[in-house]
Each structure stands twice: as C-alpha cells, then as structure tokens.
Structure 1
Amino acid sequence: MTVPPIYAEPLHPALPASGFELDLAHAALVVTDPQIDFLSPDGVSWAIFGDSIEENGTVAHIGELFDAAKLAGITVAVSPHHFYPTDSQWRFGDPLEAFMGGVGMFGRQGAYTLDGFAGSGADFLPAYRDQILDGHTVITSPHKIVGPESNDLVLQLRKRSVSQVILAGMAANLCVEGHMRELVEQGFEVVVVKDATAGPRLPEGDGYLAALVNYRFLASAVWTTAEAVDFLKG
C-alpha cells in the first residue's frame, strides 16, 4: 500500500521525540467505535469514511491489534458509541450530532435491551466479535460525542493500573482524537496507531489528515500497526 505524501511522517520533524517506552505491565489497547456503522460497507457512514478505511487497511489492522494485545496479555478495552431513543430529546447539537441523528447512526432500542442490536449498525463488526465478547475485554459504557468524559473508560483503566494507552479505532479526527486528548489530560501516555483508524472526506476537509497533524503534536508516539505489533511482542 502506497502512503500518499501528505500522510507520510515528516522527514525532518521539528518537534522532539517524547522518549516514550512501552511498559507492557501498565499498558492497554483501547479501540473506539469498532462498529458496523463505521467499518462496514453496510454502515450508514461508509460513503464518507469508506475510501479512507480501505486505503489504510483499517479493518484488518484493528484485528491485528486485537490479536497482538491478547497474546501480550495486556488490558484490552472498547469504547463504543450508542444512542438510545431518549437521546432524541436533546435540544441542541453540533454538525456531527446532526449527521448521526439524521442517519440513525449507532441507534439502539434502549440501554437495557438487546432487541434489534445483533447485526445492526450499533453492533460490533463481525470480524471482532469473538475478540470483544471473550469475557476479558472491557466494554465501557457508551460515549456520546467524541471523548470518554461521559463514560467509564478512565475508571476502568485506573482500576487496572494502566498508565499507557495504545489507541486505535474510529474515527481519526473525532472519537480517536477526542479520546487521545482526554487521556493525555488525565495523565496517560498515549500512542496512536495511525493506520488502524480512518477519517471522513468531505468538502469541509480531510479528517484523517487533520487528525494526523494533531497526533504528531500531542501523542507520545504515532505508530503503524506493524510497529505496534512488534512492540507488543516485547
């Protein structure tokens, strides 16, 4: 896969390296929104995310990270995005919320029912279900906008003595970046796996490129999936 020049890492970065070193005893893999509505051609957002997902090999790369993290024995957590019927009572929202509400993205029938969930856009991508539903993966309460401020991800990580996060999932400039920023503010070292995510392409701009710029400024490191898998092997 050829990386477009605008996506390649700078040959002579101006910012210094953080000095990050992976400590498997205190590391976790966190994957945001590994769900059908983002990652499948059957999902409601595929028209604006599909090209980026296919170019990055996002689906396969997330699967490789799940496998490598399980083999390494580190904490694995999924931070999903779900909306319930009562969320339609919100009286205002941003353009992203308007889009998601308009297409019924991540819609569920309620917080305490799985009726209609299996195979819906809110469900996990079938390729990941065995890894996520293995009884060991942490499935957090849902986040509602882009960051983990409204769910229990930070609590779940703290309770497991996690201080380093390998971050992947969807979408690059939205939930991945939102999670990265909040986790950094919460005192975690965060590595973003840049080809295990993807972004929207709209007249407003290339969301993946926007995210890459910010990852380089704020993340402790920006890795490829191949690099992350090598590090997880110890």
Structure 2
Amino acid sequence: MSKTLKNTLLLAALLSLFSSAANSSSEHKSKGDGLPDPGVKLIKGQTAIVITDPQIDFLSPKGVAWSLVGKSVTKNGTVNNLEKLMQAAQENDIVLVISPHYYAPQDLAFKHGGALEHAMHGIKMFEGNKRLDQSGIKENSGADFMPQYKKYINNGKTAVANPHKIYGPESNDTVLQLRKRGINKVILAGMSANLCTESHLRELMEQGFEVLVVKDATAAAQLPDLDGYAAAMTNIRMIANSVKTTDEVLAQIKEEIK
C-alpha cells in the first residue's frame, strides 16, 4: 500500500470519527459547534463546587491584576456569579472547595518560571508576609479572599485547600479534599480561565472526575493579540464534560440536587 493511499485512508477515518461525534445520539447531543455535549448529572453527596483563586488580586479593582482581567471580570459578572455558586453550595449542602493561590516569602527563591509566573512575581501578586496558616493572609491584602465571599468560606464547612504555586492542583491537596469526601462530579469556576481554572480542569479530568465548567463565573487576562478568555473557552469546551452559564447551573442544581 502506497504512503499516499495510507494517508488518504487515515484522513477518511479521522473525518468519520469527527462526523460520528457531530452526529452523536440523543444521549450526547451536539451543540452548534459540532462537538458532543456529554453533560454531568449532579448527584447529592457526589458533587462539589471547586473555585480557584477567588481573591482580591484577581477580582477587585484594588487587585494588582485588575488592569489585565478587569474588563473580562466585569463583562462576565464573575464576582457576582461566583457568590451565587457559593450561596448555592451553602443552601443545598454541596461540598465547597477553595483552591487559592499564595506565595510565602520562601517561595520567592524559585529560580525559574514561565512568562506569567514572572509577571505575577513582578507585580507581587498573591504574596504574603509569612508561610500560610490561619492568620497568614493579611486582611484585605491582594492574597485575601474577596470580602463578600468570606461568610461562605469561613463557615466551618468549606474546605480551603493548600495554596497551589503554579496553576494546577498537582501542587496542593484539592484532589485529596474531593476524594476523601467521595466526590466524583465537580462544578468548576474561578480565576483565571486560561490558567488556574483550565489547569484544574485538565488535572481533574485526568484524575477521573466529571467536570462542569461555569463559563461566566470565570474570566481571564486580555492583552493586545492575546485573549486569555477566548483561548480558555475553546480548550474548556473541548475538554470538559459540560460548559454552562451560572443561571443554567443553578437551575440544574435546583432540579437534581435533592
């Protein structure tokens, strides 16, 4: 068989595969983009809401990253939508896990890092004065949680994972917090879409969780020729089990979490 014929057959097989996905059964209905929509059925006791980096540096005009993410946060209504999810967790007895970002002084001795790691360290993002414990985050500092979220986070039930140091949960105990609670379905939201949120999505999927991403309860940096939110939404749609708005998720919680 010639190399050209082999390539032609391979191409035909790939086209057939994508065609099958686009014309999948009613169980996995296709959206307008042609990809299947597997969905996530929410089950009481097996579902958690995971929120990445709900902190001042990302979500407040007082934060050091506001000039980069503020437009996206404002457009999506991210701050209010995250609070709606936290409130839904509290009212429906859904496990809430916070995966924060934080740098202690000792972490500033890191010898190398990626582009945005260097950018974050350059503006002292998520930095604290000592190693993190219950009093390690200075009140109203950039590393602190948004004030309106504290009643949900400091309620004695919410699990606050160890801080992650780059983007994903591989360097903290988010997955452990979920596994120990018997969770296999995750509603994922937080900051920022193409960094910590997407990285958490990838690792949670690799770990065998079903993940529903809340697309307007996140946001991302937007720079000339670099739209972090658009990039994230492309990848998230291709990776996640489901992608919905906050209102759609709240309606699903009301219907399925009993």
TM-score range, shorter chain: over 0.9
Q: In the alignment, is the contact (CA less than 8 A) between 2:39 and 2:212 conserved in 1?
A: no
Q: In the alignment, is the contact (CA less than 8 A) between 2:186 and 2:212 conserved in 1?
A: yes
Residues 171 and 14 of structure 1, relative CA distance in 2, 3 Å threshold: same
Structure 2 gaps of 5+ residues are: 1-29
**Alpha carbon RMSD of aligned pairs, Å?**
1.4
SS at match of 1:30: strand
Q: 2:53 aligns with which of 19, 33, 38?
A: 33
**Counterpart of 1:183?**
204
The CA deviation at 1:109 is: 1.2
Equivalent residue letter for 1:220 = N
Q: In the alignment, is the contact (CA less than 8 A) between 2:82 and 2:217 conserved in 1?
A: yes
Equivalent residue letter for 2:88 = A
Q: In the alignment, is the contact (CA less than 8 A) between 1:84 and 1:108 conserved in 2?
A: yes
Q: Give yes or no for the alignment of 1:218 onto 2:242.
A: no
Equivalent residue letter for 1:42 = K
1:11-30 to 2 correspondence within 5 Å? 12-30=32-50
Cα separation, 1, equivalents of 2:182 and 2:99: 18
SS at match of 2:218: coil
Q: In the alignment, is the contact (CA less than 8 A) between 1:24 and 1:232 conserved in 2?
A: no
Equivalent residue letter for 2:61 = P
**Counterpart of 2:149?**
128
**Counterpart of 2:183?**
162
The CA deviation at 1:104 is: 0.5
The CA deviation at 1:115 is: 5.8
Cα separation, 1, equivalents of 2:143 and 2:150: 13
Q: 1:43 aligns with which of 63, 67, 70?
A: 63
Equivalent residue letter for 1:98 = H
Report which stretch shifted further, 21-30 or 104-113: 104-113
Report which stretch shifted further, 188-197 or 14-23: 14-23
The CA deviation at 1:16 is: 1.4
SS at match of 1:118: coil
User: What TM-score do the two structures reach when normalised by structure 2?
Assistant: 0.84
**Counterpart of 1:151?**
172
Structure 1 gaps of 5+ residues are: 1-9
Report which stretch shifted further, 38-47 or 116-125: 116-125
SS at match of 1:14: coil
User: What TM-score do the two structures reach when normalised by structure 1?
Assistant: 0.93
Q: In the alignment, is the contact (CA less than 8 A) between 2:40 and 2:185 conserved in 1?
A: no
The CA deviation at 1:74 is: 1.0
- Among the aligned pairs, what percent are the same residue? 49
Q: 2:117 aligns with which of 97, 100, 103?
A: 97
Aligned residues: 225
Report which stretch shifted further, 189-198 or 199-208: 199-208
Larger relative contact order (CA 8 Å, sep ≥ 6)? 1
**Counterpart of 2:100?**
80
Q: In the alignment, is the contact (CA less than 8 A) between 1:69 and 1:232 conserved in 2?
A: no
The CA deviation at 1:11 is: 6.0
Q: Give yes or no for the alignment of 1:196 onto 2:217.
A: yes
Equivalent residue letter for 2:77 = G
